[in-house]
Structure formats: C-alpha cells, structure tokens
C-alpha cells in the first residue's frame, strides 16, 4: 500500500483478523463483524494482508499457509 492508501494496519488488527480466520473462511462482512471492526478498516487491512500473501480474498476470505502460521504463533 502506498501513501495514497493510508498507513499500514497495526499488527494487533492483523493478528485479530488472523485469529478469526483460523476458524475457517468467511465473507468480508462476517469477518468484520466477528472481529468487531469497521468494514472499511477490515477491507483495507485485508488488502495489506493479501499483498503480503497472508490471505486469499475472493468470495470468501481464507488464510494462506503463511497467514495460518502467523495467526497460530500469536493465538
């Protein structure tokens, strides 16, 4: 993400999203609600995480093996 897209998300938010996704894939809307964060903030964080290959975003959001390892490390 560049300066135009805003700052990088804090790592607490990335870990919270990772923990929620350890349960299994879910839609972005459900993920934002489960994590207790604003939908737009969730989408920005997911774009950052996708750029680092921690998640795959399609109809459902799912953790990659690297993202799952990171989430388990902090769970």
Contact 10, 41 (CB under 8 A): no
- Domain membership of residue 49 as a residue range: 9-63
- Tell me, what's the pLDDT at 9? 83
Asked if the structure places residue 71 within a domain, the reply is no
Residue 26 lies in a domain: yes
Has residue 1 been placed in a domain?
no
Q: Is residue 74 part of a domain?
A: no
Model confidence pLDDT, tens digit, residues 3-60: 455 678 888 999 999 999 999 999 999 999 999 999 999 999 999 999 999 999 999 9
If we measure between CA atoms, which residue out of 53, 44, 59 comes closest to residue 10? 44
Strand, helix or coil for residue 2: coil
Specify if 56 maps to a domain: yes
DSSP state of 53: T
Please tell me which residue, 72 or 75, carries the higher pLDDT value: 72
CATH code, 36? 1.10.10.10
How far lies 46's CA from each of 3, 21, 43, in Å? 17, 11, 5
- Cα 38 to the chain's mean position, in Å? 12
In a domain, residue 54? The reply is yes
Q: Is residue 51 part of a domain?
A: yes
């Amino acid at each position: 993400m560049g300066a135009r897209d805003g700052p990088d998300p804090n790592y607490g938010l990335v870990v919270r999203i990772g923990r929620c996704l350890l349960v299994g894939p879910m839609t972005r809307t459900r993920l934002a609600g489960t994590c207790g964060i604003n939908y737009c903030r969730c989408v920005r964080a997911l774009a950052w995480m996708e750029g680092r290959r921690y998640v795959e975003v399609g109809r459902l959001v799912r953790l990659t093996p690297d993202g799952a390892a990171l989430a388990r490390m902090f769970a």
